[in-house]
Structure 1
């Protein structure tokens, strides 16, 4: 007599963001950030995304018939050589503590891969480096790194760890003056620029995107509709835009989406008419001037970009401060874009 097959411990089910809101929030509670913050994120990221609902997977514990885990992929519009691609950024993996073994997490990720096979062209994510072997095991490739660069504007704080206290402040003041003069000299050698701050994405950003050279990288569409959802409607952080133009021209040359945290101005996204040829040093210089006027001690930016695209930042002495791996998994092995490089910024994450 044949023995009855053992029922599985877990099953992965496709979720629906509108229907499964309370289930997902209950799984997040105590596992992913502050409850109020995550509730606000759900309303924005899961229910109001203009690119479509995220792919949502739920992990069912079969013996108890309760959901014990969840994972998602938020939709993104990507472009490559004039073609639009359907992207998904991996977000919000949560498994209840008593079920946190490798198996359940792998099942959720494999569920996303299966769901993405028809709905998306590529999944991408920024997992913890310790998770790299797991992602490689289920078919992801480490495509690149998201690198953080920083530039110090006010040096006294940084010199206190290297100099006696009585010397750090005057030495910092002197370093600030020298660096500011060097930056001013660089700006004088270029065309006259003007910049202005705004709290919402300006409609002229569409012209910057439309008229810019996109190159051969896979990248997110950076139009005003995306920016208004990604930043202006986000309840998670306050974002401002620095708009850069020539002195006697209304049309924009470049823009930066920034968030100020304590004394550092973090550039979350940027683009210019130069596009894939890289942000021009004169535009980065205008960002530094504006940050210095605000009293910021430093400026930072994260990007996955080619040497050409980094040149404007490197010309103004931004230095690497850290890096995170980027993993991708294309739904079709025959997709030509899979061989292309990526252009990514902090905006290509979920927060």
Structure 2
């Protein structure tokens, strides 16, 4: 049995004194106990955008034990070139015996009412169970975050009932024809550019970020400081950057990558708007290197403008599923936020 709705209260947490309570709620509700302490230090204590906020749901009321938690990080963004601050929903969970609609709604409502007026935008990546809750609170779908996949070794995706030799022969033949056909149709000129793998970003990434200028996008800041925190300084993950460099114009594109088993995941990607071929140059190189490294496929999740989606398909990637990015907006920028194309990758998530 759960307590009556009136006996619940959502109160601000103190990150110093409530640390053990917050981490305990994460462990019991969100899993991955081995990395929860690291997540607290990385996201809540070392976040370059500022200290996130945490609310705890108590039952019974203010003096009761914490039974739920929700976090809100700050994300520095650009709306058509103008700086704005947004809130990023994070680490939402309620203990099993209180997992009814009211405690979840209380946490979400309290967080929205307290922080939306000062931020103007809150967004997040709710799972299928949480999405109905945030929709009831007035959140809308910003768009689908589509997972694009480029198969590098077709044999791994052919029916297992085929003999091993047949599968690998057919797979190699399909890979060769697909690669040759795409190269014939969409050849790229690599003269004057070179690729480089890096473990951490440098000052060239700041120049690439500044080059984004006043593009008609809603996009999170991707300067060197943010990328170093998001990727290099994340303690339980290992990332590498593939960079594409012009001998005369510096860094023109990068992809932040993570390898999990046979798949290379692109966690973030940014191209110079003045170099329209940079995406093709970058992905051609990445596909080649991933194949040479024994990977079976490359995956990339993106909510982005239509021209970039079309470019990914033209470069041989295929849409394989999607999930919604949800948001609520208020204030003078609300209409522009709704109408402007979003650019969101895994780099904008809290995990």
Please, what TM-score do these two structures have when normalized by structure 1?
0.91
8 Å contact 1:279–1:309 — kept in the other structure? Answer: no
Deviations, residues 110-137 of structure 1 (Å, cap 9, x unaligned): 1110221344221111112343332221
2:73 match: 74
- Structure 2 match to 1:303: 302
**CA distance in 2 between partners of 1:107 and 1:309 (Å):** 38
Match of 2:132?
133
Q: Give the direction of change, closer, same or farther, for the CA distance of 1:242–1:189 in structure 2 (3 Å limit).
A: closer
Q: What SS does the aligned partner of 1:128 have?
A: coil
Contact 1:151/1:299 (8 A) holds in 2:
yes
What is the Cα deviation at residue 342 of structure 1?
A: 1.3
Which whole-Å CA distance do the structure 1 matches of 2:54 and 2:206 have between them? 31
| Contact in 2 for aligned 1:277/1:308 (Cα 8 Å) | no
Quote the offset at 1:23 in angstroms. Answer: 1.5
Distance 1:279 1:101, change over 3 A: farther
Corresponding residue for residue 202 of structure 2: 202
Question: Which residue number corresponds to residue 3 of structure 1?
Answer: none
Cα displacement string for residues 256-311 of structure 1 (whole angstroms, at most 9, x for unaligned residues): 00001111110000101128979632332122122222221111100001211223
**Structure 2 segments unaligned to the other structure (5+ residues):** none
- For residue 203 of structure 2, give the secondary structure of its aligned residue in structure 1: coil
For residues 77-118 of structure 1, the C-alpha deviation after alignment (integer angstroms, 9 at most, x for no partner) is 110122111111111112111111110000000111022134
Q: Contact 2:117 / 2:331 at 8 angstroms: preserved in 1?
A: no
Tell me the residue number matched to 1:345.
345
Distance 1:92-1:276 versus aligned 2 partners, 3 A rule: farther
For 2:264 and 2:185, locate their aligned partners in 1 and report how far apart those are by CA, in whole Å: 21
Output the CA distance in 2 between the equivalents of 1:242 and 1:48. Answer: 25
Q: How much does 1:36 deviate?
A: 2.4
Alignment check: 8 A CA contact 1:279 1:313 kept? no
- Gapped regions of structure 1 (runs ≥ 5): 1-5
Equivalent pair of 1:241/1:258 in contact (CA under 8 Å):
yes
Q: Does 1:260 align with 2:284?
A: no
Check 1:56–1:156 CA distance in 2 against 1; reply closer, same or farther (3 A cut): same
Alpha-carbon distance, 1:59 to partner: 0.6
Residue of structure 2 equivalent to 1:167: 166
Question: For the structure 1 residues 72 and 10, does the alpha-carbon distance in structure 2 shift closer, same or farther, using more than 3 Å as the test?
Answer: same
**Aligned-pair Cα RMSD in Å:** 2.3
Of 221-230 and 120-129, the range deviating more from structure 2:
120-129
Distance in 2 of aligned mates of 1:343 and 1:58: 31
- The separation in 2 between residues aligned to 1:22 and 1:207, in whole angstroms, is 41
Q: Match of 1:312?
A: 311
Tell me, in whole angstroms, the C-alpha distance in 2 between the residues paired with 1:88 and 1:106: 18
Partners of 2:266 and 2:310 lie apart in 1 by: 16
Kindly indicate whether residue 227 of structure 2 is the aligned counterpart of residue 222 of structure 1: no
Match of 1:50, SS state, is coil
Cα displacement string for residues 202-228 of structure 1 (whole angstroms, at most 9, x for unaligned residues):
221111111135521211011111001
Single out whichever of 337-346 and 106-115 deviates more from structure 2: 337-346
CA contact (8 A) 1:257 1:270 kept: yes
Partner of 1:191: 190
